[in-house]
Amino acid sequence: DGGITQSPKYLFRKEGQNVTLSCEQNLNHDAMYWYRQDPGQGLRLIYYSQIVNDFQKGDIAEGYSVSREKKESFPLTVTSAQKNPTAFYLCASSAAPAIGNQPQHFGDGTRLSIL
Amino acid sequence: AQSVTQPDIHITVSEGASLELRCNYSYGATPYLFWYVQSPGQGLQLLLKYFSGDTLVQGIKGFEAEFKRSQSSFNLRKPSVHWSDAAEYFCAVGAGNTGTASKLTFGTGTRLQVTL
């Protein structure tokens, strides 16, 4: 079945450490997204990518980095510069829009906590 | 810039009762609107979407939503709620074509509790 796989499901970060969250999709979607979810704040866009080797900052990109070397993969690195990384991270993808916006399909998320 | 308001943070309904979750949006052009549902610790699942045409759209799991341009609203409804509908619901508005990406702005969500 086609879908989005995020790993790991739970991740712990020590102070000063960079950690990388994996996101893989087999939907053949061009666009991929990373969101951060905090209680009571909904989803906030961190980065998105429309095509391989290209990505744009979202609303809260500071302290995060991404790469898009393959169409199916969009890993997110939470750097030590992100001072409040504890959150639920969601990866999504969407097809190229023939008209308007296409729905985004989501993975099951990674919960990141600070040790 | 577009925005979405979900005025109800938490709603409790009895199983079998009807449900309406409110969503108001702000967007200068024709909006592309979505409702998603999220179970605890899971990702978001698309319930329904509105692009154009009939203002009453049907979705999965017996949900429907009505687009009212004059009220800038896109409320989600279900005639009879089941206990399995307990979850968090998010309304989202699309920013229109931005290349191949479909940037969405999400509301803060409404948590639905269902009592038996």
The string of pLDDT tens digits covering residues B45-85 is 999 999 888 899 999 999 999 999 999 999 999 999 999 99
* pLDDT range class, residue B27, cuts 50, 70, 90: confident
Question: Does the structure show a pLDDT above 90 at B99?
Answer: no
Complete DSSP assignment for A37-70: E-TTS-EEEEEEEEETTEEEE-TT-TTEEE--SB
Determine the residue of chain B that is closest to A4 in CA distance: B43
pLDDT > 70: percent of chain A: 96
Across chain A, mean pLDDT equals 92
| A8 preceded by a cis bond (ω within 30 of 0) | yes
Q: What beta strand segments (E) does chain A contain? A: 4-7, 10-13, 19-25, 31-37, 43-51, 54-57, 64-66, 76-78, 87-94, 105-106, 110-114
Question: Are A42 and B108 an interchain contact pair (Cβ–Cβ within 8 Å)?
Answer: yes
| Chain B residue set in contact with A, beta carbons under 8 Å | 9, 30, 32, 34, 36, 41-46, 49, 51-52, 90, 94-104, 106-109
Checking if the pLDDT of B42 tops 70, the result is: yes
Which class for B62: exposed (0-12), middle (13-18), buried (19 or more C-beta within 10 A)?
middle
Structure tokens at B92: 């989202």
A43 in contact with B, Cβ within 8 Å: yes
**Which chain B positions have a beta carbon within 8 Å of A94's beta carbon?**
101-102
Average pLDDT over residues A32-59: 92
The predicted pLDDT at position A78 comes to 96
